[in-house]
Structure 1
Amino acid sequence: MVDAGDESGASAVPAGVRVPDGSAVVQYAWHDAWVVVASGSYDMHSITPLAEAMGVAAAKHEKVVVDASGIAFADSTLLNLLIHTHLATDLRVAAPTPQLRRVLELTGVDAVLKVHGTVEDAAAR
């Protein structure tokens, strides 16, 4: 888990961690939300850094936004993580890639989660 900046959102500077498969997790405060930026591919072999970050974010913050604009591949492992995080906090998914949006639609998860076009929209509402 990476924790960057202060929680006020005034001047948080993102910090990131790269894992061997090329996935990355970056976190920062934005207005009254905690943003977790996920990039790369997520399956059962690569989900751990993101799952840890999401678990801590959900425990510490009332509103968590997942910036999904950099997700290249996602399977049911990521869907499971999103649903569990949604049950623990006010989760918003921002800017999902076309592949992730298709998975969300096909599984009906888009009807359960709050999906927004941008991080700004997700954090503001």
Structure 2
Amino acid sequence: MNFTSELRDSYAEVTADGRLNMVAAPQLREFIGNLITDGSPRIVLNLEKTSFMDSSGLGALIGCLKAARQAGGDLRIAGVTPQVRMVLQLTSMDKVLAPYATVEEAFSND
């Protein structure tokens, strides 16, 4: 799994490319944690290149959401693939971490 970030006007966009599984989950937590520590607690995670997510990946998303909110920000997800959407729906986590169609829409109403 490869993570990249780009700072936007009011948030950081993180792109996750690959499989978000038990191997990649700790990497995502560390990557997002570093962004928050560096002063970017408003984050949009772009998942359009994420081909697979398991329960470890879901746990990492929730951990990152909690960390961002504790820092006074938020974590939002965008570009969700069908497999990732299915995991979110089966666990009802799409109610907690609502997916946005595009990165730009994620913080557009704030």
Shorter chain as normaliser: what TM range? 0.7 to 0.9
Aligned pairs, number: 103
Q: Considering only CA atoms, is the larger Rg found in Structure 1 or Structure 2? A: 1
2:4 is paired with a residue whose SS is: strand
TM-score of the superposed pair, with normalisation by structure 2:
0.85
Please state whether the residue corresponding to 1:109 is helix, strand or coil.
coil
Q: For residues 53 and 72 of structure 1, what CA distance do their matches in structure 2 show?
A: 19
Give the Cα separation in 2 of the matches to 1:68 and 1:122: 12
Letter in 1 for 2:58: L
Aligned pairs (5 A) from 1:1-125: 23-59=1-37, 60-89=39-68, 90-125=74-109
Structure 1: where are the runs of 5+ without partners?
A: 1-22
Q: CA deviation at 1:47?
A: 2.7
Question: Would you say the 8 A contact 1:93–1:114 is kept in 2?
Answer: yes
| Structure 1 residue 42, shift from structure 2 partner | 1.7
The TM-score, its normalising length taken from structure 1, stands at 0.76
Higher strand share: 1
List, as ranges, runs of 4+ consecutive aligned residues in structure 1 with deviation greater than 4 Å.
none
Q: Which has the higher contact order (CA 8 A, sep 6+)?
A: 2
Structure 2 residue runs of 5 or longer lacking an equivalent are 69-73
- 1:72-125 deviation line (CA, Å, top 9, x unaligned): 111011111111111122010011101001100110111011321000111323
